[in-house]
Structure 1
């Protein structure tokens, strides 16, 4: 499977491959947490690398099915945003996963791993 063209989180033998399009970002990371609800705060974050086409990606080792994740984006005007994966294959929507601002956490998919 060619991961370079995917936009999402894909489990691999090396961990999880994350890729997102963020053309107005100066930095992008992915925050990963265990559990059934988003605990808030930074969690464990991993920086993504920017490609010339404004896609950001990285393989993060140790990510497992059932973990929650969000993208953290710093825009070119310095605003810090937390965003769900628009291409997520599974999203929790319950009181357990809502933060104070009402956003829900995504779940790392349980399919895969892919080569």
Structure 2
């Protein structure tokens, strides 16, 4: 997603109005300049707990290529669940699946 799309989305949601000066474009360039350095894949190797990652292959908000970059750097036990026809939306059965995993972990503790 490019900066113009992010700006448009944040402005539409009113997110800039909660940040000092961003709705007036006073610090917008600095904000996006710093945001460009954030790439979660560089933190993925720090994960120690098991990970189950859900990916919609049609996602334009968090493109699958960026998700795969993170997934490939995870050293902890991991599992990837792919939804070929889904975008950045609620994925069928994902929350039920997550709840079952949490209940299983709680039962084993």
Normalising to structure 1: TM-score of the pair? 0.21
Richer in helix (by share): 2
Richer in strand (by share): 1
Larger RCO of the pair (alpha carbons < 8 Å, separation 6+): 1
Return the index of the structure with the highest Cα Rg: 2
